[in-house]
Amino acid sequence: MPTQMSDLIVMVVKQAGDVRIHTCVSSFSDGNIANATHIVESRNRLVLIDGQFLAPCAKAFRAYADSLRKPIDRLYLSHRHPDHWFGLGAAFRDVPVHALAETLTFIQEHGEESRRDHWKLGGLISEHVVVPKEVASPGQETIDGVRYVLDRVTETETDFHLTVGLPDLGVYFAQDLLYSGTHLYLTSHLGHWIQVLQALLVSEYELFLPGHGLPADKNEVARNIEYLSAARQAIGDGLTGAAFKDFLLRRYPERKCPGIFDIYLPRLFGGASEY
């Protein structure tokens, strides 16, 4: 169970000309999963990536954004998993949220059901569901002088995932395509996920911002590929449930946030609902 943890790790990870990239990461301990959300600060505006999970973390992320004293132009929501959008209702109800059409539809149709499904977290989750209103489509847009490249990635950690690249800065917001220093949330799409990460390894991007954990480089992208390959092999060898978890815990003792196993194992091996 996550515990109340409103202290975020806050860092400036890159500064280039007028642009600063900020990262805010929630707790790595007590069942939390180190949710990472980000801010692109340009001359006049802020663009945010994802909205945190627990309400106290979302409020702390918002307070940090407000401390920069620039208007929030928009928030890009990467995908439909609750740990990325539950926080929107707690702290970002006034902010334009942009998401893939599939993500928007999912939250519209299942958001409230998903929120109620997390009743055990009590006051740690928001009472409000924010349905994104703006559709983010693959392509380029320039916001406050910064070039953004949006992409729609299918069948990896989730069915539809939005990524945001800043090619002129070498920065790529991979969100849940990449778990930095933590155990990955595994799905049935490991083969395609590996291919997507391999393409990133030969891209011109240098700084990779994950959805969980600390800012990363290509070495961590390669380590994620290795983890996915080992997991795929283990599944091929017939490991399931507790034995599968034990295998990954032993093989990757350095990775944090084992709480993720309890979230995905019933879905990967037990046919539990996707949310």
| Beta carbon nearer to Zn ion, 56 or 82 | 82
Interface segment toward Zn ion; rule CB under 5 A; list 9-17, 79-87, 95-103, 239-247: 79-87
Q: Cα separations (Å) of 142 from 18, 32, 38, 43? A: 14, 35, 18, 13
Q: Give dist(CA 184, CA 265) in Å, integer.
A: 11
E strand segments, 57-133: 72-76, 97-99
Please select the residue that binds Zn ion; options are 41, 50, 102, 176, rule is CB under 5 A. 176
Q: Which is nearer to Zn ion, 41 or 82 (CB)?
A: 82
Closer Cβ to Zn ion, 82 or 165, answer by number: 82
Q: What six digits make up the tokens of 205?
A: 């991007």
Task: For residues 16 and 117, give the distance between their C-alpha atoms in angstroms, rounded to a whole number.
Answer: 43
Which of 2, 89, 132, 211 is close enough to bind Zn ion by CB under 5 A?
211
Give the range of 46-54, 146-154, 174-182, 215-223 binding Zn ion by CB under 5 A: 174-182
Beta-bridge partner residues of 97:
75
CA 114 from centre of chain = 17
Instruction: Out of 41, 50, 83, 102, point to the residue binding Zn ion (CB under 5 A).
Output: 83
Does the protein bind Zn ion through residue 220 (CB under 5 A)? no
- φ/ψ of residue 60, rounded to 5: -70, -40
Please check whether residue 177 is in contact with residue 163, taking contact to mean a CB–CB distance below 8 angstroms: yes
According to the binding rule CB under 5 A, does residue 210 interact with Zn ion?
Answer: no
Residues binding Zn ion: what is the number (CB under 5 A)? 4
Report the interface residues with Zn ion, using CB under 5 A.
Answer: 81, 83, 176, 211
